[in-house]
Amino acid sequence: MQIVDYKRYTPLEVKHFALLLPAEPHSDLLDLLRCHGLGAIWPEAQTSRFVKLADNGFDPF
C-alpha cells in the first residue's frame, strides 16, 4: 500500500493516518488497515454522515 510507504517518511509528530474512501471497504481490507495502524473514513450509505475506522472500532463523527 502506498500509504504505508508515505507513513515511513512522515515526521514523528504525525500520529494518525487514514484513507478517505468513496464507500465502505470489505472487512478484509479494514483488517489490513488495522494491522498497519491506519484508519479509514467513508460516507455512510443511508445518511450524509461519515464513518471512521479507528483502533477501537467504528466511530461515527
Q: Domain segments of the chain: what residues?
A: 2-60
What is the structure's pLDDT at 43? 92
Do 59 and 49 contact (CB within 8 A), yes or no?
no
pTM for this entry: 0.71
Whether residue 27 is predicted with pLDDT greater than 80 in this model: the reply is: yes
* Assigned C-alpha cell, 39: 484508519
Element (H, E) at 58: strand 57-60
pLDDT digits (tens, 9 = 90+) for 31-61: 888 888 888 999 988 887 888 876 545 454 4
C-alpha cell at 22: 468513496
**How many whole angstroms separate alpha carbon 10 and alpha carbon 56?**
23
- pLDDT of residue 22 exceeding 90: yes
Residue with cell 471497504: 25
Q: How far apart are CA 50 and CA 8, in angstroms?
A: 27
